[in-house]
Amino acid sequence: MHDSDFDVAGRTAIVTGASQGIGRAIAETLATGGANVAICSRSMDRVGPVAEEINDADDADGQAIAVECNVRERDQVQRLVDETVAEFGDIDVLVNNAGGEFVAPFEEISANGWQTIVDLNLNSTVHCTQLAGEVMREGSGGIIVNLSSVNGQHAAPGESHYGASKAAIIRLTETLAVEWAEHGIRVNCVAPGLIQTPGVAETLGIDSEAMPPREATDRRIGHAEEIADVVRFLASPAASFMNGETITAKGVPRAGNSMSQDLGLED
């Protein structure tokens, strides 16, 4: 009989942007599975309590450290990598989760506005992947999971900067899967549909109290934990034959951009 291996126990994972939302759920899920996690956000006041909560939790076997790091700044990413190695000895998994956007028509996005979103989503992924990847290449390989979006796969109005940066992440994932296979590094990607997070609540004003449970199969907005579980799969040996892939997680399959449908902007 085949014994499946979804185990992440004993691994060390960096999760960027983990003070709330999807990143926080990923950190909690990996730690519950026994992984040690190094989590970051721009503010120690916000990310520190998440690490404390993980370290205090009875059901999380893994340990957590919090690092203040703006992933748009390469020198700060280097410190995140160095502190992770100093604390846990190695980096097995990198989850490039930190990201964000504002919604605006293309003609109203200034040069700095465009640069900000590309830096936040794409260039931050480059910094983290190059610097953590160096540790992985010098060691015994590793696993990288990038966060794209259905907006990186399909067009949506007001999302030109975000969509372009998230589409680029998909192609970067595919390219690195080819380039770094010889180093024992797997690189995959998750493309979520609309997920209820504090960031989305802030951007779109969606009420988090009205969420149907995860078991519901109707048209609905997703839970952060439903993305975290996909990431945990990709971070485990069960995904050993997956490299360069993008897994879409958007609930009931529909053609086109599910987000605008979720928001009632399309049938």
Ligand X SMILES: CCCCCCCCC/C=C/C(=O)SCCNC(=O)CCNC(=O)[C@H](O)C(C)(C)COP(=O)(O)OP(=O)(O)OC[C@H]1O[C@@H](n2cnc3c(N)ncnc32)[C@H](O)[C@@H]1OP(=O)(O)O
Return residues touching ligand NDP (CB under 6 A). 16-23, 40-43, 46-47, 69-72, 97-100, 120, 147, 149, 192, 194-195, 197-200
Q: Which residue, among 17, 25, 33, has the nearest Cα to 236 in the 3D structure?
A: 33
| Interaction of residue 217 with ligand X, rule CB under 6 A | no
C-alpha 117/C-alpha 88 separation (Å) is 31
% helix, strand, coil for the chain, step of 5:
45, 15, 35
Q: Which residues pair with 75 in a beta bridge?
A: none
Q: Which does 230 bind (CB under 5 to 8 A by kind): ligand X, ligand NDP, none?
A: none
The letter for the amino acid at 83 is: E
> Smallest gap, in angstroms, from Cβ of residue 2 to ligand NDP?
33
**CB–CB of 160/217 below 8 Å?**
no
Which residues 73-132 are close enough to bind ligand X by CB under 6 A?
A: 99-104, 108-110, 112-113, 116, 120
Catalytic residue among 47, 162, 195, 250: 162
30-58 burial by CB neighbour count: b if 16+ within 10 A, else e?
bbbbebbbbbbbbeeeebbebbeebeeee
Q: Answer yes or no whether residue 265 interacts with ligand X by CB under 6 A.
A: yes
Interacting residues with ligand X between 186 and 205 (CB under 6 A) = 199-200, 202-204
Residues annotated catalytic, as ranges: 162
> Contact positions toward ligand X, by CB under 6 A?
99-104, 108-110, 112-113, 116, 120, 156-159, 199-200, 202-204, 259-260, 263, 265
